[in-house]
Amino acid sequence: MAEIVRWLMTAPDAPLERVVAAVPVPGPGQALVEVAGCGVCHTDLGFYYEGVRTRAPLPLALGHEVSGFVRAAGAGAEHLIGQAVVVPAVLPCGDCEHCLAGRGTVCARQFMPGNDGHGGFASHLLVPARGLCPVPGCSDADQELGQPGLTLRSLSVLADAASTAYQAVVRASLEPGGAVVVVGAGGVGIYAVQLARHFGARVIALDVDPARREQALALGADKALDAAADRRSLRSEVKAFVAGSRGGVRVFECSGHPGGQELAFELLGPAGVLLVVGFTSTKVSIRLSRLMALDAQAIGNWGCLPEHYPTLLELVRSGAVAVAPLCETFPLDDVQQVLEAVRAHRIHGRPVLIP
């Protein structure tokens, strides 16, 4: 290997540029990962189309849902050479106040590929070795890993979509027999549905897209409702669903849409917990005092701590959480068309780019 390829964003909405570069040399504690797959996330679209600023200056290769093989490593990380890994979208430093307090996803020295440095819209990328999640027993990117169609390439979506839902579910302290509402059963929400179900909750999914509602039902939701229906009827259907369940309702806002956020807030009940998982820069209008009147809580969730990844990986490999049927693969060289298709809602699965 003498060279690597990156698809660089040079300016918002400007055509991506395919650039051949010298192989980067990992410094101490760094790993050079050969990309097996890189998922395309709503956040990438935010950087590319909506003017959300990346923390590293442009030009930059986007992409933060990466799986691959470690091909070279700096001092202290040599043991990882040859290892198949999932690269967590948020890699905390491990040493600061937040990291030591168990809140590494807000670490100021965190590294997020495709934001703090070049990401996975590339053949290779450099990442901190600390926090990489090994995928044991994987020696080939196309090797099936215990489930039909599940490969290291599709495991790239563990880096963000599935793991963000996992951390949110963990923080929601679900109880078996509890009731869960998932608003937005798309790229992240569909994992919230599956994980909540796995932890013993009863799940109702709300989405505007009938295909997503079907999929949520197929993957464990007890009920699915059209999120575009009138609020009053949605409130009463959800209230009836939640009645008699253990503990307060857990509402996961995964749509990242202003209407979805308002709806999610309205669906909170007594002692309920709202998990804000989706992102929009639009302000919404809510009556904040509902939290007080209901003795409820609202929790934001950014990414997922690296220590959660091995457990999630096991859930996926054992078949408790489906990944492969939710992914659609495309050649990395089609990245431009894929971004446009995602923006135009022409791709329904999670796109995974293959170098």
Interface residues with Zn ion (CB under 5 A) are 41, 43, 92-93, 96, 99, 107, 160
Identify which of residues 42 and 124 has a Cβ nearer to Zn ion in the complex: 42
Identify which of residues 179 and 332 has a Cβ nearer to Zn ion in the complex: 332
Minimum distance, C-beta of residue 156 to Zn ion, in the bound complex (Å): 11
Measured CA to CA, the distance from residue 295 to residue 287 in angstroms comes to 14
* Residue whose C-alpha is closest to residue 153's, from 306, 330, 334: 330
Sheet holding 17-22, edge to edge: 17-22, 3-9, 60-61
Identify which of residues 138 and 305 has a Cβ nearer to Zn ion in the complex: 305
Helices within 186-328 (DSSP H only): 189-198, 210-218, 231-242, 258-266, 289-294, 309-317
Measured CA to CA, the distance from residue 332 to residue 336 in angstroms comes to 9
Identify which of residues 23 and 96 has a Cβ nearer to Zn ion in the complex: 96
DSSP states of 302-354: -S--GGGHHHHHHHHHTTSS--GGGEEEEEGGGHHHHHHHHHTT---SEEEEE
State whether residue 67 is helix, strand or coil: strand
Identify which of residues 92 and 120 has a Cβ nearer to Zn ion in the complex: 92
CA angle 48, 306, 44 (to 5 degrees): 5
Identify which of residues 66 and 221 has a Cβ nearer to Zn ion in the complex: 66
Minimum distance, C-beta of residue 1 to Zn ion, in the bound complex (Å): 28
Pairing of strands 223-226, 250-253: unpaired
Minimum distance, C-beta of residue 339 to Zn ion, in the bound complex (Å): 13
Minimum distance, C-beta of residue 62 to Zn ion, in the bound complex (Å): 10
Task: Look up tokens 């937040």; give the residue.
Answer: 98
Identify which of residues 178 and 187 has a Cβ nearer to Zn ion in the complex: 187
Minimum distance, C-beta of residue 107 to Zn ion, in the bound complex (Å): 3
Minimum distance, C-beta of residue 92 to Zn ion, in the bound complex (Å): 5
Region of 349 (left: φ > 0; alpha: ψ -120 to 50; beta: rest) is: beta
**How many C-beta neighbours within 10 Å does residue 27 have?**
12
Write out the E strands in the chain: 3-9, 17-22, 30-39, 60-61, 65-73, 84-87, 124-128, 133-134, 179-183, 202-207, 223-226, 250-253, 273-276, 297-300, 327-331, 350-354
Measured CA to CA, the distance from residue 21 to residue 336 in angstroms comes to 19
Minimum distance, C-beta of residue 340 to Zn ion, in the bound complex (Å): 18
Identify which of residues 130 and 171 has a Cβ nearer to Zn ion in the complex: 130
Pairing of strands 350-354, 30-39: antiparallel
Bridge partners of residue 163, in order along the sequence: none
Minimum distance, C-beta of residue 39 to Zn ion, in the bound complex (Å): 8
Minimum distance, C-beta of residue 280 to Zn ion, in the bound complex (Å): 14
Identify which of residues 107 and 122 has a Cβ nearer to Zn ion in the complex: 107
Q: Which two tokens stand for residue 101?
A: 């307090």
Minimum distance, C-beta of residue 42 to Zn ion, in the bound complex (Å): 6
Identify which of residues 107 and 138 has a Cβ nearer to Zn ion in the complex: 107
